[in-house]
Amino acid sequence: MKNIRNFCIIAHIDHGKSTLADRLLEFTSTVAEREMQNQLLDNMDLERERGITIKSHAIQMNYRYKGEDYVLNLIDTPGHVDFSYEVSRSIAACEGALLIVDSSQGIEAQTISNLYLAIGSDLEIIPVLNKIDLPHAMPEEVSDQIIDLIGCDKEDIIHASGKAGIGIEEILNAICDRVPAPKGDPAAPLQALIFDSVFNSYRGIEVYFRIYNGTLKKGEKVKFINTGKTYEADEIGVLKLNQEPRTEMAAGNVGYLISGIKNAKEVKVGDTITHVDRPAVGIQGFEDVKPMVFAGIYPVETSEYEELRNSMEKLQLNDASLVWEPETSAALGFGFRCGFLGMLHMEIVQERLEREFDMTVITTVPSVQFHVHTTKGQLLKVSAPSEMPEPNYIDHIEEPFIKAQIISKSEFVGPIITLCMEKRGILKNQTYLTSDRVELSFEMPLAEIVFDFFDKLKTISRGYASLDYELIGFRQSNMVKLDVMLNAEPVDALSAIVHRDKAYEWGKRLCEKLRELLPRQMFEIAIQAAIGQKIIARETVKAMRKNVLAKCYGGDISRKRKLLEKQKKGKKRMRQVGNVEIPQEAFLAVLKLD
């Protein structure tokens, strides 16, 4: 055990974690040259296409240093704030962290927040100044920022480039020298923490764990403490590029377990695995996730509800930050109310459901969770407009507030402050990190930043500003429910909860946007926005007669069929509500009002 090192890589998004991880794997010959491809650990198609890490990935390397053989377990983590729950779980499985900072960008908001997560778990931090090959790298300046931040010595900072392969050996040596070996007793009762899992349709659920105490052998009877279920450890092993089975694994190690579990509900990330014969107590799992945004997910075909439920259960195995419960909508029927960590997370969940589980789904207007105090003194947690009680039952409404930390070049301070004020933000603090880098701290409503704030911030700061935020509590706000009606029929899935000062403007623009997005149909569609009984805006979609077969005179039946097929495909991701067909984009129209 003294030669095991468990470490993760943390950084702000795009500072080069995945590229550096590739070099480490190459240098330790963990992957053969012919297997090497860029961003090797980002093995989901979605990750490669978008060039971002969504999931944490674990991989084991062997390394010889000062005449000794080391086992290095690396966990690559995502950088985007929406996936910080992945980061916090990975950190729990490690004793050390490489803190990567892009030497052309300097310290950014998520560098700091991920660093605090790591320090909070007592990890040994190895600072790495990355991308030093770039001509506009600023090693001196960024080194000073790092020293200020973590209080290390200048010599502790490793200069590296994932792209040019600089500093790789030095990093590996530092991991062996500086990261402490895992503690734990191989002879004690078994305690292994489940930090991730994935559904495999052939082999059942694969469980990823880190052993804190004890030894696990193939074939032994094990128990998951929280669920109380028992299984046989059919296969255990370590995670190399592929899984490598082992007959025995001891304290300190990271690995996988396969025991033919088919039911997704039986595996909970944060649960502890122990022996049936000689049980230990559970280790403290992970903090519960705090979803920030809620939205409904509905199958396009109402008959696929059960299938969608199955798919969500399987997806949840691999995405512990996804929470959901059944919900019904008058307009959309049976579906699920889901909690996400942010808009990117919501997008990714929708895409994964479609790609990995072949489901076509509709997502409804996202909303934050409000605290509604009723006149009877009850507290209702409302995360969907349809749950909002009638106005005469409401005493007051509170909305979630966050503390936002924005780091930017000082020349953009003016526009950033203006943007934040528009979003009902209050400037709390302004600190100069260096002569031209400023940290601004605001208190603002979560609802104002989860949707398009980040894109706007990037635009006005020409990409230089970075953002991080945390929930600080609930504050009273004047919120109202904005209803939308199509041909006088209310469509609950299109309603939104908005601030009263902005309600009229919103209603007007929402109707305009819906007019653009709703396809013309055989009859006229009246779009109305209302607050309570009062109509505040109206638009009309003119009727049109669309007959795709019109041009298809003559008797070629196959051509007709093709056209009808094509028309059917075009209808995907549409929902019939009353007599109106609503495309997916319309449900998210509120997000595109500016």
Q: Is 131 annotated as a binding residue?
A: yes
Q: How far is the CB of 467 from ligand GTP (least distance, A)?
A: 15
Number of residues engaging ligand GTP in binding (CB under 6 A): 21
Strand 124-130 and strand 96-102: pairing?
Answer: parallel
Tokens of residue 409, six digits? 């070049």
Residue 391 contacts ligand GTP per CB under 6 A? no
Select 101 or 193, whichever has its Cβ closest to ligand GTP.
101
DSSP 387: G
Q: How far is the CB of 158 from ligand GTP (least distance, A)?
A: 12
Q: Is 408 annotated as a binding residue?
A: no
φ/ψ of 177, rounded to 5, equals: -75, -45
Residue 541 contacts ligand GTP per CB under 6 A? no
Q: Is 16 within 8 Å of 39 (Cβ atoms)? A: no
The residue within the footprint of ligand GTP, chosen from 5, 15, 55, 210 (CB under 6 A), is 15
Q: Report the run of H or E that residue 144 belongs to, with start and end.
A: helix 139-150
- Distance between CA atoms of 490 and 180, rounded to whole angstroms? 61
The residue within the footprint of ligand GTP, chosen from 4, 10, 11, 192 (CB under 6 A), is 11
Stretch that binds ligand GTP, among 6-14, 251-259, 468-476, 577-585 (CB under 6 A): 6-14
Longest CA pairwise span in the chain (Å): 83
- Distance between CA atoms of 447 and 479, rounded to whole angstroms? 11
Secondary structure of residue 480 in the 3-state scheme: strand
Report the 10 Å Cβ neighbour count for 157: 21
**Exposed, middle or buried by CB within 10 Å (0-12, 13-18, 19+), for 183?**
exposed
Contact mark string toward ligand GTP, 113..132, x via CB under 6 A: -----------------xx-
Q: Is 15 annotated as a binding residue?
A: yes
Q: How far is the CB of 244 from ligand GTP (least distance, A)?
A: 25
Residue 588 contacts ligand GTP per CB under 6 A? no
Select 192 or 465, whichever has its Cβ closest to ligand GTP.
465
Select 72 or 168, whichever has its Cβ closest to ligand GTP.
168
Select 15 or 456, whichever has its Cβ closest to ligand GTP.
15
Contact mark string toward ligand GTP, 156..195, x via CB under 6 A: -----xxx--------------------------------
Residue 143 contacts ligand GTP per CB under 6 A? no
Please, where are the H alpha helices in 461-549?
500-517
Select 36 or 564, whichever has its Cβ closest to ligand GTP.
36
Select 91 or 588, whichever has its Cβ closest to ligand GTP.
91
Q: Which residues contact 69 (CB under 8 A, 6 or more apart)?
A: 3, 62, 63
Strand 4-11 and strand 323-329: pairing?
Answer: unpaired
Residue 272 contacts ligand GTP per CB under 6 A? no
Residue 19 contacts ligand GTP per CB under 6 A? yes
Q: How far is the CB of 168 from ligand GTP (least distance, A)?
A: 11
Footprint of ligand GTP on residues 563-582 (CB under 6 A)? none
- In 3-state terms, the chain is what percent helix, strand and coil (to 5)? 30, 35, 35
Q: Tell the residue number behind the tokens 């729990």, with chain if given.
A: 92
Footprint of ligand GTP on residues 74-103 (CB under 6 A)? 78-79
Q: Is 14 annotated as a binding residue?
A: yes
Q: Is 333 within 8 Å of 397 (Cβ atoms)? A: no
The residue within the footprint of ligand GTP, chosen from 4, 8, 10, 13 (CB under 6 A), is 13
The 10 Å CB-count burial string (b at 16+, else e) for 484-503 is: bbbbeebbbbbbbbbbeeeb
- Report CA-CA distances (Å) from 551 to 554, 558, 559, 568: 9, 14, 11, 18
Select 129 or 444, whichever has its Cβ closest to ligand GTP.
129
The residue within the footprint of ligand GTP, chosen from 6, 18, 111, 495 (CB under 6 A), is 18
- Distance between CA atoms of 543 and 521, rounded to whole angstroms? 5
Footprint of ligand GTP on residues 22-61 (CB under 6 A)? 39, 51-53
Select 70 or 454, whichever has its Cβ closest to ligand GTP.
454
Strand 4-11 and strand 68-76: pairing?
Answer: parallel
- Distance between CA atoms of 236 and 133, rounded to whole angstroms? 41
CA 154, 158, 163, 164 torsion: positive or negative? positive
Residue nearest to ligand GTP (CB): 79
- Distance between CA atoms of 258 and 311, rounded to whole angstroms? 20
Q: How far is the CB of 249 from ligand GTP (least distance, A)?
A: 28
Q: Is 16 annotated as a binding residue?
A: yes
Tokens of residue 415, six digits? 């526009």
Q: Can you say which residues are annotated as belonging to the binding site for GTP?
A: 14-19, 130-133
Binding site for ligand GTP (CB under 6 A): 11, 13-19, 39, 51-53, 78-79, 130-131, 133-134, 161-163
